[in-house]
Amino acid sequence: MTSYQTPSVHSCPGCDAFFLRRRLRSANFYGTQDWSDAKPTMSWRQEPLVRCKACAALFWLDDIEPVGIMPQMPRAMGRITRAWLRWRGDPEGQLQDQEEWSHAMASWGRAQYIGSVSFDDVAYVLARSKGVRRDQLLWLRNRIWWGLNDRYRSRFDGTPIPDVPSWPIAAERSNMKVILDMLQDSEVKPWNLIQQGELLRLLGHFDEAVVKLRAVPADGHSEVRAAKIEKLAKCGDTKVRMLSAPSW
């Protein structure tokens, strides 16, 4: 079961409005789908780039420090109970909890959960990405890649995903090649090799894809994904595919 702690509170760098950020306590992978391009499908995921609902500013969550933690909402308390606890010296801190909650509501009561970004938002930031950290740039390009790949996906009921973005083929392939170059210059890890193999497969470089995928070290999971994508490469398949059924 997916559960959350009380959210952290942050201030928007664009308008100073307060917003809330979920803090994951435990995660459930119920209903997730495993696509060959490894697009995250967990409902609880938090993307690193966000949009302020108050002023529409786009910013990176990691660049913003929390100003506080929203306290747990205490149980309602009547006047008689308050007086009784005050007389007893508030032994369990219930009056203090009420006071902290009232103070939080006065300061952060109008705060909303931070908004998610659209494909166009990501493309906008990518076009102005000079000075962006390498990991952020890789995420931007991956997010574009995943979004364009949505044309190969379907929803849980089998219907196509609506309003899928599109780019000219040349621009799409150029983005994929840049991702591939960035991965080849990175530390060699199983996920890195698998993504390189997937990109090469989708670009039609099947022999190179097989070489990358066969180089994936065994860890009980990565080599299984690599073998499934290798099978697609050997068949000359250039579409994103679901590697396993959703976990229900």
pLDDT for 123-170, tens place per residue? 999 999 888 999 999 999 999 999 999 999 988 788 888 999 999 999
**The pLDDT value given to residue 95:** 57
Q: Does 242 or 5 have the greater pLDDT score?
A: 242
Question: What average pLDDT does the segment 53-66 reach?
Answer: 93
pLDDT of residue 248 exceeding 50, the answer is: no
- Reply yes or no on whether the pLDDT at 186 is more than 90: no
Write down the mean pLDDT value for the chain. 88
Give the Cα separation of 15 and 18 in Å (integer).
Answer: 9
Per-residue pLDDT at 46: 86
Q: Which residues contact 201 (CB under 8 A, 6 or more apart)?
A: 36, 209, 229, 232, 233, 237, 238
Average pLDDT over residues 16-41: 82
According to the model, what pLDDT value does residue 187 have? 86
C-alpha separations of 218 from 4, 201, 207, 221, 240 in Å: 33, 21, 21, 7, 23
